[in-house]
Chain A
């Protein structure tokens, strides 16, 4: 998938600590696990960012975003600490144009019948 290509380009591939692709609805299934998702930034403050998941749920991303300004869409990787929040370790700007619905479908496929390809 084209999204995976972008992931591999933007970070050093570390297969020892895989993160599960989630959206708002899938996050509760993976609390206390390492997850990754893309959110649309709604509100950005020191210490936390409120974002909209690709399935229109509001998520809280805790942690310190990078010094560079955040673009409209951001990918975060971190530990899910509740149903609706992630403690982010890695932040990546995904630009202002993003196909949210395709990403959403990717999350669904990655957690259902094609799980084995991702973990």
Chain B
């Protein structure tokens, strides 16, 4: 049994037919390249041969022996490039059809690719063009660029999948054919020899008229400027492309150090008139070229850049690709008239009420009126670095307010600006692009490195909002979604009975459960109802860490300071009961004071200094058997080797009979249906 390879496929490939998906035989495999592992195949169509480079993502096919000398393969995806008058074929994807096979036909070694050409390939510039048989230029960009020093550096900086493993398997490059007509090839694929078995390719190529090989005149390079395409159409298989876009964000110049030495990088975000967005990144020498050229708000014509998958961890733009600019890339400033149709910024605002249901760590844009600004507080980060934090309260027409946490530079620049505006009662509109949702205390939004803040932006949403605020908003109450306290009666409140806490396994997921329970205090744990706390201030908050005795004084580990008097804060443990069951809960200072009615210090003194047992038990006894509407935070925690479900009383409200009745009537009406 012998196999028929696709006749004349070598000539067809060289002629520019990239859709043939021919069957060829691998006559030889050689490893080339000093710094990078590259394989060079000698492929045959049984009559002629040609060298083809194997894309590095296919390297393991050779290494694991899935392709050997003599293997018959189907070339699924491949490109032709022209380097110094040599035609180089690059195989991007192929399928091994027959692993071991004798040499088919009588191929002549028609294309002796010299070592020199291969090394040229290694240092080749992107944006090579290829010629088809009629002298028309079809430009191709090799989507992989293993030789590019820039991309290699990035591996040290970020966990970036190599360009080569982009998932190009099976996908076909899109040809930018200026005048899209190909000639006709007379092919003999239709005829079957009776004696030989025609091996049908496993992937049927789509019908395409094969190119003709009539030679026509000298080959000319297409010098026409690349067409401007929408950002949304950009992909690595694009031929020559150009985009016209406005810079919406410019990142900082960052220096890094990895195995290959020192490097620097910066990125900027682009927006075009169709609303498409994409990030562009420059490394090392390219940074020097463009860092000063790029200005936020100006429009540029950008071309001849590479495309790779976007890193979702850092890049929150809605595009699966990112541009990386290289030595051959061009960035030309456009006059402002050109960019008339390109907006300054693109937002996708969500109402604050929707933040409640947003996923933790998701990125979104919000706009609101700033109603409060707290002073900056120094925060010690996990890596030991100190940074600033500042909280800003925002509300919008959805009737909800949220806390926006500013980090780092935002505190001093925009934060200070906002403070001054709020202090002078000129409550500004603040638009946040790319803020991160956090569920640390209720739901809040924090800034990240790619966040942008716009104070009183000149956009329609801002005008609508300030109008709403002037007429209604400044006098209306807004429900905060950011405190851990959610006022009763709001839609968010989940009512549970005591038994449901255990029955439903509340607190066992990775996020704490917040519920409201109406129950009565039935028993207080009398020993250790409070702890000595450090009274020193850290920013605008008291330290409150447990202080330890140091002779006649006290010392705090966190503040590393001694002080004479410590504060006493509640750590109240008690039992609550309702008609379904009982549970142990813990209340801290705020809710503890609400329940006890006395500050912790007084009760402590009663116990330890006055030693008045009688009065002490009186105090506790007087607080027992009162019903409360408890707001509970339930979370499973590890203690030594066990996990225990801990219930914390975040708030204890006296029952308001009127609203409680209404709540019960409401519950009854829902019960009624069954």
Contacts and interface: CB of A to CB of B under 8 A. Distances in A.
Interface of A: 1-3, 99, 102, 105-106, 109, 113
Nearest to B658: A99
Nearest to A102: B661
B668 A102 contact: no
Contacts of B661: 1-3, 99, 102
A96 to B, nearest CB: 13
B665 interface: yes
B538 to A, nearest CB: 45
Contacts of B665: 102, 105-106, 109
A109 B658 CA distance: 17
Nearest to A109: B668
A100 to B, nearest CB: 10
B662 interface: yes
B662 A102 contact: yes
19 contacts: A1-B661, A1-B664, A2-B657, A2-B660, A2-B661, A3-B661, A99-B657, A99-B658, A99-B661, A99-B662, A102-B658, A102-B661, A102-B662, A102-B665, A105-B665, A106-B665, A109-B665, A109-B668, A113-B672
Contacts of B660: 2
Residue of B662, B665, B672 with most chain A CB atoms under a 10 A cut-off: B665
A51 B658 CA distance: 22
B612 to A, nearest CB: 33
Interface of B: 657-658, 660-662, 664-665, 668, 672
A77 to B, nearest CB: 21
Nearest to A103: B661
A55 B281 CA distance: 71
Nearest to B655: A2
A105 B663 CA distance: 12
A106 B665 CA distance: 8
Contacts of B657: 2, 99
A113 B668 CA distance: 11
Contacts of A102: 658, 661-662, 665
Nearest to B665: A105
A1 B658 CA distance: 11
Contacts of B672: 113
A3 B668 CA distance: 16
A106 B668 CA distance: 11
A3 B657 CA distance: 9
Contacts of B664: 1
B291 to A, nearest CB: 68
A119 to B, nearest CB: 18
A21 to B, nearest CB: 14
A86 to B, nearest CB: 24
A102 B665 CA distance: 8
Contacts of A2: 657, 660-661
Contacts of B668: 109
Nearest to A2: B657
A1 B657 CA distance: 9
Nearest to B672: A113
A105 B658 CA distance: 13
Nearest to B668: A109
A36 to B, nearest CB: 17
A99 B664 CA distance: 14
Given A99-B657, A102-B661, A106-B665, 9 more contacts: A1-B664, A2-B657, A2-B660, A3-B661, A99-B658, A99-B662, A105-B665, A109-B668, A113-B672
Nearest to A108: B665
A109 B664 CA distance: 12
A109 B671 CA distance: 12
Nearest to A98: B658
Nearest to B666: A105
Contacts of A3: 661
A57 B662 CA distance: 22
B578 to A, nearest CB: 15
Residue of B661, B662, B664, B668 with most chain A CB atoms under a 10 A cut-off: B661
A96 B81 CA distance: 92
A1 B665 CA distance: 10
B667 to A, nearest CB: 12
A3 B665 CA distance: 13
A109 B669 CA distance: 10
A108 to B, nearest CB: 10
Contacts of A113: 672
| 7 nearest CB pairs, A to B | A102-B661, A99-B658, A2-B657, A105-B665, A2-B661, A102-B662, A102-B665
A71 B456 CA distance: 54
B70 to A, nearest CB: 86
A15 to B, nearest CB: 22
A71 B658 CA distance: 18
A102 B664 CA distance: 10
Nearest to A6: B657
Nearest to A112: B672
Contacts of A109: 665, 668
Nearest to A105: B665
A1 B661 CA distance: 7
A69 B658 CA distance: 25
Contacts of A1: 661, 664
B128 to A, nearest CB: 80
Nearest to A99: B658
A95 B348 CA distance: 53
A1 B668 CA distance: 11
A99 B662 CA distance: 9
Contacts of A99: 657-658, 661-662
Nearest to A114: B668
Contacts of A105: 665
A49 B665 CA distance: 30
A3 B658 CA distance: 10
A87 to B, nearest CB: 29
A40 B18 CA distance: 91
A22 to B, nearest CB: 18
B459 to A, nearest CB: 45
A3 B664 CA distance: 12
Nearest to B662: A102
B299 to A, nearest CB: 62
Contacts of B658: 99, 102
B439 to A, nearest CB: 35
A119 B660 CA distance: 24
B583 to A, nearest CB: 23
A25 B657 CA distance: 25
Contacts of B662: 99, 102
B654 to A, nearest CB: 13
Nearest to A113: B672
A2 B655 CA distance: 11
